[in-house]
Amino acid sequence: MTINPGMWWTALSRLVQIDKQSEWEKLDIVSKWLIATRSAVTTVTLYSCVIAGLFAVRSGHFLILPWVVMTVGLFLAHGTNNILNDYTDFSRGIDTDNYFRTQYGVHPLVQKFWGRPTQIRWFLVSGFLATMAGFYILLFTRFDPVVIGFFAYGALMLLFYTYPLKHFAVGELTIFLIWGPVIIGGVYYVLAGNWSWIVALAGVPFGLSTASINIGKHIDKSDEDRAKGVTTLPVLLGQTASRYLSIAVIALAYLVVLYLIFVPHFLTPVMLIILFALPRAWKTIQRLSKPRPSEPPAGYPIWPRWFSTLAFMHNRQFGNLFIVGVIADTILRVVPATSGFWR
For the stretch 83-137, pLDDT in tens is 998 888 888 777 666 566 666 678 888 888 889 999 999 999 999 999 999 999 9
Which phi and psi (to 5°) does residue 168 adopt? -125, 30
Please say if the pLDDT value at position 203 is more than 70: yes
Round the average pLDDT of the chain to a whole number and report it: 91
Residue 11: pLDDT band with limits 50, 70, 90: confident
Residue 114 to residue 273: CA distance in whole angstroms? 45
Counting residues of the chain whose pLDDT is more than 70, the rounded percentage is 97
Residue 310 to residue 138: CA distance in whole angstroms? 38
Confidence (pLDDT) at 69: 97
Q: Does residue 187 contact residue 49 with C-beta atoms inside 8 Å?
A: yes
Give how far the C-alpha of residue 301 lies from the chain's centroid of Cα atoms, to the nearest Å. Answer: 24
Confidence (pLDDT) at 164: 79
Can you tell me the mean pLDDT for 192-206?
96
Query: Tens of pLDDT along 264-308?
Result: 999 999 999 999 999 999 999 999 999 999 888 988 888 888 999
Can you tell me the mean pLDDT for 65-78?
97
299: number of Cβ within 10 Å: 5
Q: Helix or strand or coil: residue 335?
A: coil
The larger pLDDT score, comparing residue 194 to residue 13, is at 194
Confidence (pLDDT) at 336: 81
CA end-to-end distance (rounded Å), the chain: 56
Confidence (pLDDT) at 190: 97
Q: Which of 257, 255, 279, 278 is nearest to 269 (CA)?
A: 257
Confidence (pLDDT) at 308: 92
